Chains A and B, each alone.
Chain A
Amino acid sequence: MTGITAWVEQATWPAVIAATARLAESVTDPDIALVYAADDDARAVAGGSVRGLLGRRRNDDRVHAATQAAAEVVLADALATLARPAAVRVVHGRPERAVLAALDGMDWLVLARDGDLTRLGPHSLGPHTRFVLDHAPCDVVLVWPDSAPGIDTAPPPPPPGAP
């Protein structure tokens, strides 16, 4: 059995699912898990501003429902697009730690670049993605969310003699 984890996120999941399907074709007996890291941080930010009102009124139920709906929509769409049996899982807490914990015993991780793709370079990986990439206990497939950039987008080489 070959364990494959696909880290699906808003906006970038179609590319991840496409790569996961291709990978599943090429390995024996793929065992696929789709992992979504819930945006607890954003929810906590919204909760914090309620605290700023010194206790008058709250909104956490509705924000909680919205973040939960976000997870369900992404996972359902991703599962339907994959058209293969797969386990789905929502993880909570710090996204980079939670995703890393979900990789225990896996053979492959498929994830997408999620950084600033208008300026390629170090920032084309978001901080959470960077952490998972650095510490993944398995092989990693890193895909472009859109089409890959042309070879001519790389910056020119440093001039001769530069440090």
Chain B
Amino acid sequence: MTSGLLATGASAALLAGLLAFAALRPRDLPEAVFAVPAAVVVVATGMLPLGAAEDEMRRVAPAVAFLAAILMLSRLCDVLGLFRAAGRAMAVGGGDPRRLLTRVVVAAAVVTAVLSLDATVVLLTPVVFATATRLGVRARPHAYACTHIANAGSLLLPVSNLTNLLAVAASGITFVRFGLLMALPWLAVIAVELVALRVRFATDLSVGTRRPAPPDDAPVPVFAVAVLALTLAGFVVASLVHVEPAWVAAAGVALLAWQAVRDGRTTPAAIARDADVPFLLFVPALAIVVAALVHHGLGDAIGRIAPQGHGLVALALWCLLATLLANTLNNLPAMLVLLPVAAPAGVGALLATVIGVNVGPNLTYTGSLATLLWRRVLREHDHDAPLAEFTGVGALATPAALVAAIVALWAGLQVFGGGA
């Protein structure tokens, strides 16, 4: 038993170190620098048998391959001017901040659903700042909208969030079925977030300008939009014929890369860099370290507190558990911890878990309490968002959004059926 406790402590310490390293990135080193050796230690010391580690890698491989493709796809859309065109579309109608907020929320919800939350956080957010500047209105409510909708809007499709991909890989739920069951929760959280942002930022949103936006002749990149539409349709078809979505995304990347390189807007080397190979190594390493901890006690512990049944209350409890864990650890490790228990418990439990890990992190400023605390403790940042303000917005929007999403999921399960 002593060796069991030792393994539990050691794997927990490794996971804590890994998350701290990822949160702080000392000297800007990639997070894989800690995570990969940690995974090697876990396997070499026998904390996780080699076979189990191989299973983990097989389990996350499709999701990782897809992440690489979607990172390249969204960056190519940026290079081809899609986000700039989105900025122009948001600016139509002038400097009424309330109207702009609605447009930002819609744009962020669509971008997140199709190109994943990374695209909203990294590519859309700067455009939103620039658009607010062009219109002469304050950026703050719109910055919050991007941050919140990147998480909350990532419910709709398997491709919207890495956590969704992991859930799909673990359960075998189809692309179309995932979208059908998550459409109502997605709409519900977006509506709740929009209302909460309108209420919380009533002050900033009441001061508008009548100044028309300076003209911006950014053309709509028709080819990129067409390729995205085809890619999306391809995800549906691929799911029906059991082809990994990563292949479809890779085909989209190839088409856009062809145009972007031909027009001299980017180079193959730059596109390859956008795949972010160090992060791709980080995900399986994280999965292995988490699996070791699950293997040595955490799995049993989660199994003991896992909600039973398939009713509304059980769904809400799964969501609560996922929210708590995501806010403690960050959403990705939380999903990895919960998957082995949630996936066998049925589609409802799994999707309630997805809602918790995706929407729940809006409670804290940096996606998880762990990241936030580490940053506070070491003070390596120059300026933090006002904690009271962020927590205030999160506390107003998130519980209501979670409740609305769970009720919507429950209703969807009644309509479309809860079987796998």
Docked complex Cα distance between A127 and B200 (Å) = 13
Query: Chain A's nearest CB lies how many Å from the CB of B112?
Result: 11
Query: Chain A's nearest CB lies how many Å from the CB of B31?
Result: 5
Q: Do the beta carbons of B138 and A54 come within 8 Å of each other?
A: no
Query: Chain B's nearest CB lies how many Å from the CB of A63?
Result: 5
**Range class of the A interface residue count:** 35 or more
CB-contact partner of A49 in B121, B137, B204, B332, under 8 A? B121
Q: Cβ of A39: which chain B residues have Cβ within 8 Å of it?
A: 138-140
Which residues of A in the span 122-152 have a Cβ within 8 Å of any Cβ on B? 123, 126-127, 145
Q: Cβ of B331: which chain A residues have Cβ within 8 Å of it?
A: 52
Docked complex Cα distance between A74 and B137 (Å) = 10
In this assembly, does A48 line the interface, its C-beta being within 8 Å of a C-beta of chain B? yes
Q: Cβ of A43: which chain B residues have Cβ within 8 Å of it?
A: 143, 383
In this assembly, does A93 line the interface, its C-beta being within 8 Å of a C-beta of chain B? yes
Docked complex Cα distance between A63 and B136 (Å) = 16
Among A6-14, A18-26, A100-108, which stretch is in contact with chain B? A6-14
- 1/0 per residue B261-289: CB within 8 Å of A? 00000000000000010010010000000
Q: Do the beta carbons of B123 and A48 come within 8 Å of each other?
A: no
CB nearest neighbor in B for A93: B383
In this assembly, does B95 line the interface, its C-beta being within 8 Å of a C-beta of chain A? yes
- 1/0 per residue A35-78: CB within 8 Å of B? 00001111111111111111111110011011101100110000
Docked complex Cα distance between A74 and B209 (Å) = 12
Q: Cβ of A84: which chain B residues have Cβ within 8 Å of it?
A: none
Q: Do the beta carbons of A49 and B279 come within 8 Å of each other?
A: no
Docked complex Cα distance between A131 and B334 (Å) = 41
Docked complex Cα distance between A114 and B208 (Å) = 10
In this assembly, does A118 line the interface, its C-beta being within 8 Å of a C-beta of chain B? yes
Q: Do the beta carbons of B385 and A53 come within 8 Å of each other?
A: no
Q: Do the beta carbons of A48 and B383 come within 8 Å of each other?
A: no
Known: A59-B123, A66-B126, A118-B206. A46 touches B383 (CB 8 A): no
Query: Chain A's nearest CB lies how many Å from the CB of B33?
Result: 11
Q: Which one of B22, B121, B140, B371 has the greatest number of beta carbons of chain A within 10 Å?
A: B121
Which residues of B in the span 65-100 have a Cβ within 8 Å of any Cβ on A? 71, 95, 97
Query: Chain A's nearest CB lies how many Å from the CB of B69?
Result: 14
Q: Do the beta carbons of B367 and A49 come within 8 Å of each other?
A: yes
CB-contact partner of B383 in A44, A51, A74, under 8 A? A44
Q: Do the beta carbons of B276 and A56 come within 8 Å of each other?
A: yes
Docked complex Cα distance between A10 and B95 (Å) = 11
In this assembly, does B147 line the interface, its C-beta being within 8 Å of a C-beta of chain A? yes
Known: A52-B366, A52-B367. A116 touches B202 (CB 8 A): yes
Q: Do the beta carbons of B209 and A11 come within 8 Å of each other?
A: yes
In this assembly, does B151 line the interface, its C-beta being within 8 Å of a C-beta of chain A? yes
- 1/0 per residue B200-227: CB within 8 Å of A? 0011101111000000000000000000
Query: Chain A's nearest CB lies how many Å from the CB of B184?
Result: 25
Query: Chain A's nearest CB lies how many Å from the CB of B258?
Result: 24
In this assembly, does B257 line the interface, its C-beta being within 8 Å of a C-beta of chain A? no
Docked complex Cα distance between A48 and B125 (Å) = 12
Docked complex Cα distance between A4 and B258 (Å) = 58
Q: Cβ of B206: which chain A residues have Cβ within 8 Å of it?
A: 115-118
CB-contact partner of A48 in B71, B129, B365, under 8 A? B365
Q: Cβ of B147: which chain A residues have Cβ within 8 Å of it?
A: 45-46, 48-49
Docked complex Cα distance between A19 and B292 (Å) = 67
Q: Do the beta carbons of A54 and B332 come within 8 Å of each other?
A: yes
Q: Do the beta carbons of B367 and A63 come within 8 Å of each other?
A: no
Q: Do the beta carbons of B71 and A57 come within 8 Å of each other?
A: yes
In the assembled complex, 10 residue pairs joining A and B whose CB atoms fall closer than 8 Å, in A order, are A10-B207, A41-B389, A42-B129, A42-B143, A46-B121, A49-B146, A52-B331, A54-B22, A54-B31, A66-B133
Which residues of chain B have a CB within 8 Å of any CB of chain A?
22-23, 25, 30-31, 71, 95, 97, 117-118, 121-123, 125-126, 129-130, 132-133, 136-140, 143-144, 146-147, 150-151, 202-204, 206-209, 276, 279, 282, 330-332, 361, 365-368, 371, 375, 381, 383-386, 389-390
Which residues of chain A have a CB within 8 Å of any CB of chain B?
9-12, 39-59, 62-63, 65-67, 69-70, 73-74, 92-94, 114-118, 123, 126-127, 145
